Structure 1
Amino acid sequence: MTQATDHSAPSGQVIDMTKRLPPESLANLKKAARAEALSSSAGVADARTGTVRLSAEVDGQDVVIEQLDDERRRGLRALVPASLTNPDVWAHRGEVLAHAAGFHVAHSPVYVWRIVKLSSIGVWAELGAAWGYLLATEYGADIDEAKREAKKKKGFADNSDVAQLRGERRQVARARRRENLTVLSATGFTSYIAAVVGIAEVWGVAMAFPALIPVIGVMYACGARELRRRGNDFVVFEPAALEEDAPLTDAQINQALRIAVPSFKEDDEIQLVGLIQRADINASQCVFKLPAHVTVSKLIEQREGIAGALQVDENWLDIQQDGHPTRCSFWIATSDPFETVRRSPLLGQSTPLDLWNDGAPIAYNKRGETRRLTIRDIMLLIGGATRTGKGMALRNLICALALDPRINVRIVDGKPTGEHLVYAPIAATMFGRDRNRLDFLLDAYEAEIERREDLLASLGESKMTAKLLKKLSIEILIIDELATYTRKSVPGAAARLSRLEFLSSVGAGLGVLLVVATQHPEVEVIPAGLRGNMTGRWAQRTADADGTNAILGKGATGRGMRAHDIPRDKRGLGWLDMDGIAEELARSFLIDEEDAGEASEIIAVGWELRRAAGRLPGQWDDPIEAYLVQMTGLSSAAGGPGGRGKPGRPGQAAADATVLDVLLGAFEEGADRVPLADVRAAFAAWSADQWAQKDDEDDATYEGRFGKDLGARLDEQLDGTGVELEPKRWRVGEGQVRVRGYLLKHVEAAHEAARKIHK
């Protein structure tokens, strides 16, 4: 085992750093630590324990890597199977024993009645046997037969044979009663009864009861023998392991397989590999071997029936092949494994991530295992009905991308909610609901693909590799609400879909990746060509089976991936298909931005990491943003001026955006005018200290002050342009209410005039 500890922790605390590493990094650390520690002169080896320690200073901190060589274990511990030292195994066995004890205690009145009944049968049977033996009652049948025979032969009763048999019976009975065994038995029985009566007289009936246990046990055994002789079935103790709420046992699994799997015959048995162990606070897992004629695939086909036999929800059960086809990894929960939302492992992360090798932690499956999206060649499609958790799925992904400075994140938001504005500080490009700008962005991506193809050809490489990350950053384009740009009713949708399909088909090998999300999983929004190139698919709750198949592919519902059956209260839960390798339910980790500002904290860490690496928007030459500026005159780097997702004049920071920038950004997508109420709200969001209403201001005073200040700032910015910008009036609604505000064409003309004179 490899252990990395941080001895610079406060108060000398030793922190096990391996618990914070993803599995892939931990495996690499083990390999590197063993090789380095055994070969380095700085390593200190302990021959007695097999421990090798290597001390080093990393980023000014004292880090110790310990290689604990399990192969050098000595003594009795080396002979004990690992499963017997596993605390999870013992925890599960404790649960089994505790359940059995509670079950049998609860059923003790039933058991007492059954034992008394069986003992009574035994007493009656043994008394009858003793009576017959001591009185030789077996002669009774012979005497009756003799009487009938005599009557048939002579017509009257001849008592000679009868008298002979009766005499013989008396002699045999007398001899039996005088036998030593009979006398000793009678003496012992009367002495036992006298002792019990004496105990009851002296110490009470309660103390006499334990003394009766031996005779009750003997009579119980006699009663059981009598029922077996009669051919009757009897059960005294119920099998606690087969109860509905019992912890998992091999008996339960065998019974369920016999019920649900036709090929699992009555005399078939599973063979446990190791022992059953507790997997989580509400689950158990084990590995077992099946009979040769039963494969794991047959169990998976009958998963619903097995879940029914085990009396759990189908989604509480997980069956996987573990090695060869008859070796099964079996996991079962006793309650909903997705009931409690798990916190994101990104919280508290302060160092860069390596998403190329380790992947982005975006969700967890029913076993509690982290599902990672490897940022190499994956294209991801996220779909589902509104308010089902797509935003949280993107939040997990984008926050992880922020922590790897080698990745350029570009976000195109097709919704008007401003949900993604928190990511603006690290976004190389970010804008919303501008179809023309998306077309320009796709132009830039096509040029970028050609540039990368030429570069790879010059380097003798056929595709993007880890060693090229220093020369080429990974490009990820994220489009939220694809339907805004690709529905048939949208101008240019067909051409746009064709270009997205091209990007998804050729970009993977060049480090140009695509992530799209939509709440309209329809064929016209996600045609087969585009969906076929999306190697990763995540279906949140959908409205119907057609929506599920539109995301996951034809036949998905037939394979059991029924996203339309996901409960409404399980936001973030969906069927995750990672290139056909893992088709399973997975739920997004929780990153609480609304109440705790957790996404902002992660983005702030990512901002610092990118600033230190020189990878913040504006710190490096970005040919894609340069093309957008060339074509539109506006920059959308870091969400544009103010980080509001509205493109603005290049070079502006959030603090020095102009009033014309803010005024232009106040227009909704497709709107040709904006009322002054919306203008005031936009300016208040931009700079509350200057533009928001004061506590001691009434509405009229605030509106007057705002209009005066805005007019002065506009005149100042338009000075020398010959352009004037004044509010206009128009009527709205059935009552033709007069509204005062600005027209888009006037603001755009003023903005362009100011841009030309000030550039």
Structure 2
Amino acid sequence: AELDTQLPTNPKLVLETRKRRRIILLSALGGAGAGAAAAWVLVAPAAVVAAVLAVLTVAGALERTRSTTALEGGDRNIEGIGTDPSSRDLKELLAQVKGMGRADEIRVIGPIARDEKDTAWTAVVQTPIPHKKVLAKHEEIAGKFDVAASQLRLTPIKTSEARTRIWCADEDPLTGPPVMSPLIGRTEPFDIWREPVFLGTSTYGAPVEFSPVNKAGMLTAGESGSGKSVADDQLLCAVALDPHAQMWLVDAKMVELEAYRDVAHEYLGRPDREAFKAMVQRLTDEKDRRLEAMARAGVNRITGDNWRRFKAPFILFHVDEIQMFTVGEKNGEVTEPLGRLASQCRAVGIYISVATQYPKNEVVNTFLRANLTVRLGLRCEGTTASNIALGDGMAGRGFNCSSFTPEQRGAAFLKGERGDPVQLRTGYLEKPDEGEQGEHHVRDIVKAAVELRARAGTLPTGDNRPEVRLLEAMIAIVEASGQRNLHTTEHLLPALAQRLPETEGWGPEDLAAALPENTRTSKNVRAFSDTEGREMSRPGYRLAELKAARERL
């Protein structure tokens, strides 16, 4: 009965202990039986019983002490570390991790205490192996502690290579209610030059922020459903609320960035490689203009104080799902120009942000990754993908994005230009699908951004806006035809695809959706129909209506 409680956790030792006790019992009975007859005759029957009981009592006590020591010693299997471990528990569990050393070689420095928020326990241990090797055993240690890997943090002690600070949370900090973004409900301007961008909260509950100013760029990587798009919204919404910042957006999925269209200075909403290359070239030209102006003035950096002087507002160039443009490229036609741009844009107020759900070498090659110096890695499939997201060897050092579970939405590692990655849970912004209930935080923020830019006179009005280029292309096609009216939509779309490659494959509904509001179609456009072989009335756009829409912009 005493050993039954140990059977599930240490069956081998229990069975050996029971076998040993059977041997002791039989030996005691055999030894006592040899003198039983003589004792019966010389003393009394009671003496035999007393002798046997005495032998069994002594042997049983010795065996019980021995087995208890074995069960509670180095071979015992503690069911998790718990929330209030002893120094002995901690040393013995660490000793069960291969390569950590024996329990008597591990020291617990000072008391094991609760943290300030009383949500975790902390301890400092000194081990026979250096901290970097302890860190590589992060997941094994978490397994012995019977906690999620995200509940455990192992950090170095600067004054000793052999010491490690352990922080172990009572509950998984990467689950539970979402971390709401502080941008929700904000209506005042954001200053991207001086305000840090909130990304989320660390496992310790502290805010995690970063600044894109004077940095080359960021790679956001995470498989579908990991929370990658919501993580990117933290930066996008912050830049949108800066009325002087420009947003150049590339939406390869065609639906992910639609909410930002009203504040985008340039917008590519289709996976068109040629149009993307042209957009990168325009941004490269702007980078060169800024560098030349800075060189003439003897200035080596665009800042929040001098950007007006050089007409160089902060530019965020964000590409969602970069793999749509890089996979199958020839001779680096996409990644080489983008990588060169990122390598030179640090000082000129341009920031490159690239996101992908396929972190692979053929998607983001080494040259481009080397120039995206900030990394945000969400849940990935496998250590190879994790290392591409965070940097070579990071998974082996305990920073493994593939360890995140589907329940840990928004769980990520942020790797800055210096230091180790920080584990965090990214901020949350609600974006309900059509028909779903709830606030649409991104649209509300963009609406506030439109009002801020309207007051500041910085709403996108340049000729590079998608709707402007679309209208001007349509007007040019109609005027070139020599007719007062359009050839009808069926004639317009093929001609439009030749002028604007991003419109290839559009139907009438796509065209109507891309035009500014109040651009009316007409059902009474007279034009020759190739299919009918005669002039007929067909839906289309009148030239006067198109010109009026252009003037409103």
Q: TM-score, normalised by structure 1?
A: 0.51
Q: Alpha-carbon deviation of 1:512?
A: 1.4
- Give the whole-Å Cα distance in 1 for the aligned partners of 2:125 and 2:550: 78
What is the match of residue 523 of structure 2? 711
**CA distance in structure 2 between the partners assigned to 1:329 and 1:421 by the alignment:** 45
Shift of 1:234: 7.4
For 1:475 and 1:522, the matched residues in 2 are separated by 27
* SS of corresponding position for 1:312: coil
Q: CA deviation at 1:411?
A: 0.5
Does 2:306 match 1:468?
yes
Q: 2:316 matched to 1:479?
A: no
3-state DSSP class of the match of 2:340?
Answer: helix
Matched position secondary structure for 1:640: helix
Output the amino acid matched with 1:710. Answer: S
1:529 aligns with 2:341: no
Contact between 2:175 and 2:409, CA under 8 Å: does it hold in 1?
no
Contact 1:279 1:285 in 2 (8 A): no
Give the structure 1 partner of residue 212 of structure 2: 375
Q: Secondary structure of 1:711's partner?
A: strand
Equivalent-residue separation in structure 1 for 2:323 and 2:66 (angstroms)? 71
Aligned runs of 1:597-608 on 2, under 5 Å? Answer: 597-608=440-451
Contact 1:285–1:329 (8 Å) recurs in 2 = no
CA 1:233/1:616 → structure 2, altered by over 3 Å: closer, same or farther?
same
* 3-state SS, counterpart of residue 525 of structure 1: coil
Cα separation, 2, equivalents of 1:327 and 1:752 = 77
Matched, 1:332 2:185: no
Please tell me the residue identity of whatever aligns with 1:481: E
Which of 467, 485, 506 does residue 640 from structure 1 map onto?
A: 467
Counterpart mapping for 1:159-178 below 5 A: none
Q: Given the alignment of the two structures, is residue 308 of structure 1 paired with residue 143 of structure 2, yes or no?
A: yes
Return closer, same or farther for 1:528/1:680 CA change in 2, 3 Å cut-off. closer
Instruction: Report the Cα distance in structure 1 between the residues aligned to 2:379 and 2:501, rounded to whole angstroms.
Output: 28
Q: For residues 506 and 467 of structure 2, what CA distance do their matches in structure 1 show?
A: 20
> 1:447: Cα distance to partner?
2.0
**Would you say the 8 A contact 2:321–2:357 is kept in 1?**
yes
For residues 493 and 616 of structure 1, do their structure 2 counterparts lie closer, same or farther at Cα, with a shift above 3 Å needed? farther
Shift in CA distance, 254/661, structure 1 to aligned 2, threshold 3 Å: farther
* Structure 2 residue aligned with 1:405: 243
1:348 partner SS: coil
* Between 537-546 and 302-311, the greater mean CA deviation after superposition: 537-546
- Structure 1 residue 375: Cα displacement: 1.3
Cα 1:265–1:378, aligned 2, differ >3 Å: closer, same or farther? farther
- Could you list the per-position Cα deviations for residues 497-548 of structure 1 after superposition, in whole angstroms to 9, with x for gaps in the alignment? 2110110111112221111112333323211111111112223333444433
Q: Residue 534 of structure 1: SS of its match in structure 2?
A: coil
Deviation for aligned residue 1:316 = 1.7
- Counterparts of residues 485-634 of structure 1 (less than 5 Å): 485-488=325-328, 494-579=332-417, 581-594=419-432, 595-618=438-461, 625=462, 629=463
3-state SS, counterpart of residue 514 of structure 1: strand
SS of 1:445's equivalent in the other structure is helix
Q: SS at 1:412's partner residue?
A: strand
Structure 2 Cα separation of the partners of residues 385 and 373 of structure 1: 23
Q: Distance in 2 between matches of 1:231 and 1:562?
A: 44
Aligned with residue 284 of structure 1, among 120, 130, 148: 120
Q: Is the 8 A contact 1:482 1:525 kept in 2?
A: yes
Deviation at 1:479, TM superposition (A): 1.0
Q: Which whole-Å deviations, capped at 9, do the CAs of 1:252-308 have from their partners, x for residues lacking one?
A: 44444444463575165323489422547xx3143x554496654343233233323
**Deviation digits for residues 123-164 of structure 1 (CA, Å, limit 9, x no counterpart):** xxxxxxxxxxxxxxxxxxxxxxxxxxxxxxxxxxxxxxxxxx
Q: Which amino acid is the alignment partner of residue 480 of structure 1?
A: D
Matched, 1:457 2:295: yes
Q: Please report how far the alpha carbon of residue 576 of structure 1 lies from its aligned counterpart in structure 2 after TM superposition.
A: 3.1
State the shift of 1:318 in Å.
0.8
CA spacing shift, 1:683–1:582, aligned 2, 3 Å:
closer
Residue 566 and residue 686 in structure 1: after superposition, are their counterparts in 2 closer, same or farther (change >3 A)? farther
Is this contact kept in 2: 1:358–1:372, CA < 8 A? no
What letter is aligned with 2:174?
Answer: F
Partner Cα distance (1:390, 1:246) in 2: 33
Change (3 A) 1:352 1:682: closer
Who is 2:200 aligned against? 363
* Residues 467, 516 of structure 2: 8 Å contact kept: no
SS at match of 1:304: helix
Indicate the SS of the match to 2:317: strand
Secondary structure in structure 1 of the residue aligned to 2:333: helix
Please list the CA deviations of residues 542-597 of structure 1 after superposition, one character each: whole Å capped at 9, or x if unmatched: 34444334433443443344434533344433443223523244332210021311
Counterpart residue type for residue 568 of structure 1: P
Match for 2:188: what amino acid?
A: T
C-alpha separation in 2, matches of 1:522 and 1:404: 33
CA distance in 2, matches of 1:353, 1:672: 37
Closer/same/farther in 2, CA of residues 614 and 270 from structure 1, 3 Å limit: farther
Larger Rg: 1
Aligned partners of 2:459, 2:266: CA distance in 1, in Å? 11
Q: Which runs of 5+ in 1 are unaligned?
A: 1-226, 619-624, 630-634, 653-657, 692-708, 716-723, 730-739
- Number of corresponding residues: 455
Q: Tell me the alpha carbon deviations over residues 73-98 of structure 1, each in whole angstroms, 9 at most, x when there is no partner.
A: xxxxxxxxxxxxxxxxxxxxxxxxxx
Q: Percent identity?
A: 21
SS in 1 for 2:319: strand
Q: What letter is aligned with 1:319?
A: L
Q: Is 1:448 paired with 2:286?
A: yes
Alignment of 1:655-694 (within 5 A): 678=509, 682=513
Amino acid at match of 1:485: F
**Residue 522 of structure 2 aligns to a residue in which SS?**
helix
One-letter amino acid matched to 2:142: A
Alpha-carbon contact 2:142-2:149 (below 8 Å) kept:
yes
Counterpart of 1:318? 153
Task: Return the structure number with greater relative CO, CA threshold 8 A, min gap 6.
Answer: 2
Q: Conserved in 1, the CA contact under 8 Å of 2:471 and 2:550?
A: no
In 1, Cα distance between the equivalents of 2:544 and 2:253?
26
- 1:752, 1:482 → 2: CA distance? 39
Q: CA deviation at 1:493?
A: 7.1
Cα separation, 2, equivalents of 1:495 and 1:613 = 38
Q: 1:327/1:511 Cα in 2 relative to 1: closer, same or farther (>3 Å)?
A: farther
TM-score (norm 2): 0.68
Which position in structure 1 is the counterpart of 2:52? none
Mapped contact 1:249–1:276 kept (Cα < 8 A): no
Q: Distance in 2 between matches of 1:529 and 1:752?
A: 50
Greater helix fraction, Structure 1 or Structure 2: 1
Q: Is the 8 A contact 1:500 1:530 kept in 2?
A: yes
CA RMSD of superposed structures (Å): 4.5
1:446 Cα deviation after fit: 1.9
CA contact (8 A) 2:106 2:127 kept: no
Question: Which whole-Å deviations, capped at 9, do the CAs of 1:321-367 have from their partners, x for residues lacking one?
Answer: 25433664432123322112211122233333344444211233333
Aligned to 2:226: 388
Note the 1:337-356 alignment, pairs <5 A.
Answer: 337-340=173-176, 341-356=178-193
- Structure 2: how far apart are the matches of 1:356 and 1:367? 27
Cα pair 1:250 1:272 within 8 Å, conserved: no
Distance 2:109 2:292 in 1: 57
Letter in 1 for 2:253: K
Q: Structure 1: how far apart are the matches of 2:193 and 2:547?
A: 41
Cα distance in 2 between the residues matched to 1:366 and 1:661: 56
